[in-house]
């Protein structure tokens, strides 16, 4: 009589982070990597976690090892997909996740795990929407061969110059996002393979979402089986598709922007997407011509001929579609003035090839292509500025249309 009744309350839900490890025929390293990741998180990570092994239709013992790990280790599960594709695996797991934050890392654990908490902490606090590890910032410590370094820097330079990307490293296999954000973006992401990351980041940036970058310590996996040339061409096609969607307005989805974007100069908001689409198409055409001509002439000659042909077509297309100049009046003058941008591109790319020949005699065609892409990406920035403020200056465009 007179005894007090204690009121029971449920303990607060622990914040949950899901880490996806996409795998395809990784029986050699899977068990060791997952055990190391699990031990690290269990011993140091201050939040709840779940490790999901996403098997992309492996044909070796990977699936059996994954299911065994799921039975052996707490907070580890395995998911099987019937088709290959890293993007397909991430889409499947992320779209069904009930975690607060979803992430992924490569199975070889090339990235130092000490970067994982700095990666996800801004997402759990609500400060940022997505987070990426970057190997290209000054604070990163990276060990890899010159070939992969050149290709990676070339690709990211092309993204920044042709697509206006603000993030520094699209390809690092170490990323995370707030689940509600990524689930809103996923329906608009089309790629199912390696371009998935880039497309997701471009879409997020276009909607004003905040992308946090963490410099990482990263060691290249010498056993990587990525087809660099095929992946690079797939990425270029993906960039063309994203630029086309942006130009048509089809990329807009109902994700509220976090911050107001700075107002662009008059006309630039319309001109940039058109210039990007034409630029990506020109880059693909230039690479196709370069590879074809390289079979019969030296690399420097092949690059010069390919660049000349695509420069004429590029100037004509930008004249009509980007800057809205019609009619024949002034067309020859525009081509001659656009030739200055051609010469800049020729000097940059020819100089890059010459430097490559000096530093790495006998370099493969894939490395030559990467050098050409890097130089042309830099020339793209100069080209747009020249076309906008000089060749197709609005006052001169009006005169040419008369």
The 10s digit of each residue's pLDDT in 358-397 is 777 777 777 766 766 666 666 666 677 777 777 776 655 4
| Integer Cα distance of 163 and 364 in angstroms | 27
Measured distance between the N- and C-terminal CA atoms of the chain, rounded to whole angstroms: 101
15 versus 267: which is more confidently predicted? 15
- Average pLDDT of the residues in 189-202: 92
Both 114 and 189 in one domain: the answer is: yes
CA angle 219, 50, 218 (to 5 degrees): 10
Both 103 and 49 in one domain: the answer is: yes
Both 30 and 173 in one domain: the answer is: yes
Q: State residue 268's pLDDT score.
A: 65
Q: What is the pTM of this model?
A: 0.65
State the catalytic residue, choosing from 55, 106, 191, 197: 197
Q: State residue 124's pLDDT score.
A: 95
Q: State residue 3's pLDDT score.
A: 44
Q: State residue 133's pLDDT score.
A: 95
Q: State residue 306's pLDDT score.
A: 86
Q: How confident is the model at residue 259 (pLDDT cuts 50, 70, 90)?
A: very low
- Is the pLDDT assigned to residue 280 strictly greater than 50? yes
Q: How confident is the model at residue 1 (pLDDT cuts 50, 70, 90)?
A: very low
* Residues 206 and 250: beta-carbon distance below 8 Å: no
Full domain range(s) for residue 371: 263-401
35 versus 153: which is more confidently predicted? 35
Last residue within a domain, chosen from 192, 214, 243: 243
Q: How confident is the model at residue 166 (pLDDT cuts 50, 70, 90)?
A: confident
Quick one: three-class SS letters along 317-352? HHHHHHCCCCCCCCHHHHHHHHHHHHHHHHHHHHHH
Last residue within a domain, chosen from 243, 277, 312: 243
In tens, the pLDDT along 298-311 reads 888 888 888 888 88
* Least confident residue range of 106-120, 123-137, 296-310, 341-355: 341-355
Both 67 and 210 in one domain: the answer is: yes
* Least confident residue range of 262-271, 320-329, 364-373: 262-271
Both 163 and 301 in one domain: the answer is: no
- Average pLDDT of the residues in 109-138: 94
| Integer Cα distance of 221 and 215 in angstroms | 18
- Average pLDDT of the residues in 75-97: 96
Bin 145: left if φ > 0, else alpha if -120 < ψ < 50, else beta: beta
Both 196 and 318 in one domain: the answer is: no
* Least confident residue range of 4-8, 115-119, 146-150, 215-219: 4-8
Both 236 and 118 in one domain: the answer is: yes
Classify residue 119: in a domain, yes or no.
yes
* Residues 309 and 195: beta-carbon distance below 8 Å: no
Q: State residue 349's pLDDT score.
A: 64
100 catalytic? Reply is no
Both 91 and 135 in one domain: the answer is: yes
Both 285 and 354 in one domain: the answer is: yes
279 versus 248: which is more confidently predicted? 279
Both 236 and 310 in one domain: the answer is: no
Q: State residue 260's pLDDT score.
A: 41
Both 221 and 311 in one domain: the answer is: no
Q: State residue 237's pLDDT score.
A: 81
Number of domains in the chain: 2
Residues of the chain with pLDDT > 90, as a percent, come to: 41
CATH code, domain with 88: 3.90.550.10
Both 90 and 184 in one domain: the answer is: yes
Last residue within a domain, chosen from 214, 243, 272: 243
Q: State residue 356's pLDDT score.
A: 67
């Amino acid at each position: 009589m007179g005894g007090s009744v204690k009121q029971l309350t449920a303990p607060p839900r622990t914040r949950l982070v899901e880490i996806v490890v996409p795998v395809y025929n990784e029986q050699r390293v899977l068990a060791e990597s997952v055990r190391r990741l699990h031990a690290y998180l269990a011993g140091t990570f201050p939040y709840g976690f779940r490790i999901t092994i996403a098997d992309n239709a492996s044909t070796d013992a990977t699936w059996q090892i994954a299911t065994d790990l799921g039975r052996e280790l707490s907070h580890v599960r395995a998911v099987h997909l019937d088709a290959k594709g890293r993007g397909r695996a991430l889409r499947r797991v992320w779209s069904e996740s009930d975690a607060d934050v979803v992430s992924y890392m490569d199975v070889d654990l090339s990235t130092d795990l000490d970067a994982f908490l700095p990666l996800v902490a801004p997402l759990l606090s609500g400060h940022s929407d997505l987070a990426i590890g970057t190997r290209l910032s000054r604070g990163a410590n990276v060990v890899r061969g010159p070939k992969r370094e050149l290709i990676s820097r070339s690709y990211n330079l092309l993204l920044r110059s042709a697509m206006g990307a603000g993030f520094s490293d699209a390809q690092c296999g170490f990323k995370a996002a707030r689940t509600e954000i990524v689930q809103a973006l996923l329906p608009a992401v089309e790629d199912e393979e390696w371009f998935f990351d880039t497309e997701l980041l471009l879409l997020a940036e276009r909607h004003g979402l905040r992308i946090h970058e963490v410099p990482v310590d990263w060691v290249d996996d010498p056993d990587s089986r990525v087809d660099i040339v095929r992946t690079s061409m797939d990425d270029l096609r993906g960039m063309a598709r994203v630029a086309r969607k942006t130009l048509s307005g089809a990329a807009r989805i109902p994700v509220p922007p976090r911050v107001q974007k700075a107002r662009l100069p008059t006309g630039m908001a319309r001109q940039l997407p058109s210039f990007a689409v034409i630029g990506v198409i020109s880059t693909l055409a230039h690479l196709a011509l370069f590879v074809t001509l390289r079979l019969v002439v030296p690399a420097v000659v092949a690059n010069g001929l390919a660049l000349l042909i695509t420069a004429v077509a590029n100037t004509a297309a930008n004249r009509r579609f980007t800057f809205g100049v019609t009619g024949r009046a002034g067309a020859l003058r525009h081509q001659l003035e656009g030739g200055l941008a051609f010469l800049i591109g020729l000097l940059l790319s020819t100089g890059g090839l010459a430097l490559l020949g000096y530093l790495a005699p006998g370099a493969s065609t894939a490395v030559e292509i990467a050098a050409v892409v890097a130089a042309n990406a830099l020339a793209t920035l100069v080209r747009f500025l020249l076309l906008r403020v000089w060749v197709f200056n609005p006052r001169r465009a009006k005169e040419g249309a008369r």
